[in-house]
Amino acid sequence: MKTVQFAARFEYLDEIREFVGKIARSGGFSDKDVYNIQLATDEAASNIIEHAYENIADGVLELSCGMNGDVITIKLIDYGASFDPSEVPLPDLKADLSNRKIGGLGIFLMRKLMDEVHYEPKPDKSNILTMTKRKR
Amino acid sequence: MNITVQEFKHCDMIKVDGRVDSATAPQLAEALESANDGGKYKIVVNMSDLEYMSSAGFRALLAAQRNCKRYNRGEVVLASVPERIREALELAGFTELFKTFDDPLQAVGHF
């Protein structure tokens, strides 16, 4: 696994997507899967920056990514407020325009685009989000 | 991300190029709001040179669609949506909320 630390700011999302995109591409994922892996990672990182580090300017986001056989693993570690994506209600995708909820969409996409999404708050106050996807 | 606005007789075309994520979506939201502030509610979002859009961009589109459709005064339509972005919009259930056109001028002709 390769690991990089980023300041938890939206301006680094480009680099975050590039980092996982490179590993997914050289791991042999299709263009479509590379895009979707980048999208899921962006959504995960955006949620951490927006929610875990809400009102915290100097948060750190540690991103690890690597291939193991046909599986890519992406791990995001933060030290902000715990925020379990699996507890966020899924958006109602059938709701009409006026009732469509704006939140929860990023988490929904993460779960749809990746095979597995795990979230684990640790006793040392870190939160570990792990996502995996297998090559088809 | 880069945004250009072109005014037509019956609508405005907002062309959004590059990548829309949480860092850049506020600029897209601002462009859409400023069209609305100018009394323009019929809007074509031209995505022909758009490379990437996260849910932050989807939210900006949703907010604009709500505002434009209010009182039946207009709507936001999407033109030349790249395949990857269309798939993500579909997954999010957004394709039902927006008319889409293959060609930007065809979208302009819709109004």
Residue B53, domain CATH: 3.30.750.24
pLDDT tens, residue by residue, A78-112: 999 987 777 777 778 788 888 777 678 899 999 99
> Bridge partners of A60?
A7
Which chain B residues touch A if contact means CB-CB below 8 Å? 19, 21-23, 52, 54-56, 58-59, 62-63, 65-66, 69, 84, 87-88, 91-93, 97
Q: What is the mean pLDDT of chain B?
A: 97
In-domain check, residue B110: no
* d(C-alpha B77, C-alpha B94), whole Å: 12
Q: Is A85 exposed, middle or buried (0-12, 13-18, 19+ CB in 10 A)?
A: buried
Q: String of b and e for A105-127 (b: at least 16 CB within 10 Å)? A: bbbbbbbebbeebebeeeeeeeb
Q: Provide the terminal-to-terminal Cα distance of chain A, rounded to the nearest Å.
A: 21
Copy the structure tokens of residue A15: 């680099």
Give the pLDDT score at B53. Answer: 98
- Cβ of B23 within 8 Å of Cβ of A13? The answer is yes
* d(C-alpha B39, C-alpha B44), whole Å: 15
Using a CB–CB cutoff of 8 Å, tell me whether A112 touches chain B.
yes
In-domain check, residue B109: no
Name the minimum distance, in Å, from the CA of A32 to any CA of chain B: 7
Q: Which domains are delineated in chain A?
A: 2-134 (3.30.565.10)
pLDDT tens, residue by residue, B81-94: 999 999 999 999 99
Cα angle for residues B70, B76, B79 (degrees, 5° grid): 170
pLDDT tens, residue by residue, B4-31: 999 999 999 999 999 999 999 999 999 9
Give the pLDDT score at B77. Answer: 98
* Nearest-by-Cβ selection for B23 from A10, A36, A112: A10
In-domain check, residue B111: no
pTM (predicted TM-score): 0.95
The band of B48, judged by pLDDT with boundaries at 50, 70 and 90, is very high
